[in-house]
Amino acid sequence: MAPGLVVPTYDGQGETSSKYPSNSTSRQYAESLDRADPLRSFREKFIIPSKANLKTTKLAKPGLSQEPSIYFCGNSLGLQPRATAKYLEAHLDTWSSIGVCGHFRDLEGSPLRQWQLLSEQAAADMSRIVGAAPEEVAAMGTLTSNLHHLLASFYTPTDSKHKILLDWKAFPSDHYAIESQVKWHGRNPADSMVLIGPNEGEYKISTEKILSIIDEHASDAALLLLPGIQYYSGQLFDIPRITAHAQSRGLVVGWDLAHVYGNVDVKLHDWNVDFAVWCTYKYGNAGPGAIAGLFVHERHGTVDYSQGEDKPVFRNRLAGWYGGDRSVRFKMDNKFKPIPGAGGFQVSNPSAVDLASLCAALSVFNETSIAAIRAKSLAITGYLEHLLLAGTTEENRQFTIITPSDPSARGAQLSLLLKPGLLDRVSQRLEDAGIICDKRQPDVVRAAPAPLYNTFTEVWEFVNEFKTALQG
Binding positions for pyridoxal 5'-phosphate are: 143-144, 171-174, 256, 259, 281, 321, 349
CA distance 241 to 255: 13
Residues listed for the chain: 472
Dihedral class, residue 274 (left if φ above 0, else alpha if ψ from -120 to 50, else beta): alpha
- In angstroms and rounded to an integer, the radius of gyration of the C-alpha atoms of the chain is 23
Question: How many other C-beta atoms are found inside a 10 Å radius of the C-beta of residue 333?
Answer: 9
How are strands ordered across the β-sheet holding 163-167? 137-140, 292-296, 275-278, 252-256, 221-227, 163-167, 193-196
Q: What angle do CA 260, 239, 246 make, to 5 degrees?
A: 140
Closest by Cα among 117, 6, 1, 12 to 404: 12
Q: By three-state DSSP, how is residue 340 classified? A: coil
Annotated binding site: 143-144, 171-174, 256, 259, 281, 321, 349
Q: Tell me the C-alpha to C-alpha distance, in Å, between residue 438 and each of 19, 71, 203, 255, 444.
A: 30, 10, 18, 23, 8
**Rounded CA separation 228/231 (Å):** 9
Closest by alpha carbon to 10, among 448, 374, 408, 393? 408
**Preceding peptide of 442 cis, ω within 30°:** yes
Burial code (b: 16+ CB inside 10 Å, e: under 16) for 199-213 equals eeeebbbeeeebbeb
Is residue 411 a contact partner of residue 444, using CB atoms and an 8 Å limit?
A: no
* Four-CA torsion 186, 187, 188, 189, nearest 10 degrees: -110
